[in-house]
Amino acid sequence: MKAILPLMMLLGAAACSRESQSPAAASRPAAHAATPSADDSVAAVAQSPGKPGITLRFVLDGKPVVGAATRLRLELAGEPGPVSVQLQGEGLVLEPRAMALTIPDDGTPASQSVSATPQSTGLAEILVKIQSSADGGTEVAYAIPLLVEAAAAR
């Protein structure tokens, strides 16, 4: 009996020192946390007041260079359902400029690649407007800054 009591106290202390998983984290599939986009994406800067129902992250493939197309991957997460997306950018050729996406019910983000071709050096900004029918049609705006370099001399 004397050996069991210290063992039980040790097990109890070990169980108390563990961090419990929140119910939201426990309900998420483990594969979702291991998606590569979670590691290399960056949060876009919200331009709308309040807490948006849809979040935007992006991945830029390479440095933007004048006259060269750069691939930009947009990842939208939040309230499941259809969303419409519009892109604007002064001094940028964006393709496509508008798209319709659906955020899945399983919590994974909706993803869309776009091409951005800068026309001049310096700081450029892509304004992304997202409208969702899930939250009453509210429009949310995000900014994606780009630092555009000059094309290499040949």
pLDDT at 86: 97
Within a domain: 16: no
Instruction: Identify the domain containing residue 64 by its residue range.
Output: 32-148
Within a domain: 126: yes
Count of all residues that appear for the chain in the document: 154
Within a domain: 8: no
Q: What spatial distance separates the first Cα and last Cα of the chain, rounded to whole Å?
A: 84
Read off the pTM: 0.71
Instruction: Kindly state the percentage of the chain with pLDDT values over 90.
Output: 60
* Two structure tokens written together for 26: 């426990």
- Residues 57-104: tens digit of each pLDDT: 999 999 999 999 999 999 999 989 999 999 999 999 999 999 999 999
The CATH number covering residue 92 comes to 2.60.40.10
Q: Hey, how many other C-beta atoms are within 10 angstroms of the C-beta on 19?
A: 5
Assign 79 to helix, strand or coil: coil
Q: Hey, how many other C-beta atoms are within 10 angstroms of the C-beta on 34?
A: 9
Within a domain: 17: no
Within a domain: 120: yes
Within a domain: 18: no
Number of domains in the chain: 1
Within a domain: 81: yes
Residues 6+ apart with CB under 8 A from 108: 32, 35, 77
